[in-house]
Amino acid sequence: GFGLTPDGALRTTIHCVVAIVHGADVLPFVENCFLRPVEKWNHNEQHQLIHVQSDLCLQMMATRALTLQSCQRDLMSQKWAFQSDGLLEPNNW
């Protein structure tokens, strides 16, 4: 699973979550962490994961697809928690 490192990377051992512009959407993609500089994420007090460069929040759609959207503090589909082992899970299930 994915964890948030002290330097702000959302990653596994070798894969990082990055934001890619796809048409009118900004989507999270997983790529090798060594292909380019690591993108930063912040887990705030509202349990949102914010992509620092775009200032957008990771959101799970009803289809369970992931997207990056404008942050809305009360939107449950933007809530994320880290398990005791440090791994990421949706906080809305």
Query: Is CATH 2.80.10.50 the classification given to domain 3-85?
Result: yes
Cβ neighbours for 6, distance < 8 A, ≥ 6 positions apart:
none
Q: Locate the domains of the chain by residue range.
A: 3-85
pLDDT values of the chain reduced to their tens digit, one per residue, 93 residues: 889 999 999 999 999 999 999 888 899 999 999 998 999 999 999 999 999 999 999 999 999 899 999 999 999 999 999 887 777 888 865
Give me the pLDDT at residue 86, please: 73
Using alpha carbons, select from 47, 41, 49, 51 the residue that is nearest to residue 74: 47
Tell which phi-psi region holds residue 30, choosing left (phi > 0), alpha (psi between -120 and 50) or beta.
Answer: beta
Give me the pLDDT at residue 93, please: 52
The residue whose two tokens read 């791994």 is 87
